[in-house]
Copies of this chain bind each other. A is one copy, B any other.
Amino acid sequence: MMDFKYIDGGVCAAQGFKASGLYCGIKENPTRKNDIALIVSDVMCNTSGVYTQNKVKGAPVIVTKNNLEKTGGKAKAVIVNSKNANTCNADGEEKAYKMCSLVADEIGIAPEEVVVASTGVIGQILPIEPIVKAVPELVKKLSYDGNLDAATAIMTTDTVKKEYAVEAVIGGKLCRIGGMAKGSGMIHPNMATTLNFITTDCAISSEMVKSALSEIVKITYNCLSVDGDQSTNDTCMLMANGLAGNAEIVSDGEDYKIFKDALYQVMANLTKMLAKDGEGATKLLTCICSTAPDLDTAIIVAKSVICSPLFKCAMFGADANWGRVLCAIGYAEADFDITKVDVYLGSSAGKIKVCENGSGVEFSEDEAKKILVEDEIEIYIDLNIGEASATAWGCDLTYDYVKINGDYRS
């Protein structure tokens, strides 16, 4: 995979995308943090989304799916609020449609060309009045560098805003892909996790947008776990407006490959940010499973380690309790020989082997401690039976996770 140049701008990095965000008061909040965001493309976008697989689906998920079905995967705008998930409410869909028509009326497009998303507490009636008042102002504030206002408006328990963008030459033209994400708790790898909005000016057909998104989601957001709870509102949206002027990507080939690699850069970096900002997290955990017989096995094993509460606690305590890694590998539902497995722990402070052929090896506890007190820890697993590899991202389990979630609603 080639290197891509990081650029600023988040969802506004690509040409022709404006954004804005502001505080409208969906939930009373003395700090007046932004709670509503708008993204608008100057021209129509080929758009594809992946959504939660939870049977309980937020009303906005249902409405966005309906809208994109109606337009055949075309959209021009995104409206998204935080603080209230608009889920499990009798009037949820009505209000999600209302959010679309408010935007459509204000900027003069069809309501079904609007993508809608919400995040926050489940099961509380969404107050629509603040949104009615906010939409004209959001439209007025739209700008080609409004990405930061938008990125902060979708935060819930997030402690930092999450944006990433790269540029790449595709078909001889400079293209940009950028995105923003939110998510901190209720994150578990099964379909796109949390809210993610990716924009690009690359010209690429609806079909290839869909295919690229689903392929890259599988090895990025779907390899992320904070706590094992799969949200009701997960939405990941990719919008391509074609303004870079490259020859439209309509099939597999070199251009498509570069596009996917660039998309991976954006989505993998957002995934890493989501993991690192997991609720209460003090450490980013990255688990790399290599020499697996196939990609799915590598993913399953890497995820199993990232999801283990006991291992997550051990990392919080900087305790080289490799038995817990091996235990989590052992209950991964995949086919491999545990007696061939090697495990290493690493960080910027070094790398040590802790397990060989499924059994412990002697290592220096002092050296292990030095490695594990760092903020970013890598766990390397070699299955020693093939050539596939995958990465999964997570975080440690801490007092603060419990604190944050012991009384989230108040």
Contacts and interface: CB of A to CB of B under 8 A. Distances in A.
Contact of A399 (B55, B121, B309, B402): B402
Contact of A405 (B122, B190, B310): B310
Contacts of A405: 309-310, 313-314, 317, 397
A401 interface: yes
A321 interface: yes
Contact of A310 (B55, B57, B185, B359): B185
A56 B327 contact: yes
B123 A323 contact: yes
A387 to B, nearest CB: 21
Interface stretch (A74-82, A86-94, A136-144, A244-252): A86-94
15 contacts: A53-B331, A55-B329, A55-B332, A88-B359, A89-B360, A90-B359, A122-B324, A123-B326, A228-B309, A229-B331, A232-B326, A310-B405, A313-B406, A398-B402, A399-B402
Given A227-B310, A229-B331, A313-B402, 8 more contacts: A88-B326, A88-B359, A122-B323, A190-B331, A228-B307, A229-B310, A230-B331, A321-B409
B309 A360 contact: no
Copy number in the complex reads 2
Contact of A229 (B121, B122, B324): B324
A231 interface: yes
Interface residues of A, number: 64
A166 B308 CA distance: 36
A336 B56 CA distance: 11
A56 B55 CA distance: 34
Given A90-B359, A227-B309, A319-B408, A327 B122 contact: yes
A54 interface: yes
Contacts of A54: 327, 330-331
A324 B123 CA distance: 9
When A and B form their complex, which 5 residue pairs have the shortest distance between CB atoms, in order from nearest?
A122-B323, A317-B406, A56-B330, A313-B405, A123-B360
B406 A310 contact: no
Nearest to A308: B229
A406 B123 contact: no
A56 B308 contact: no
A409 B260 CA distance: 44
Nearest to A317: B406
A338 interface: yes
Contacts of A308: 228-229
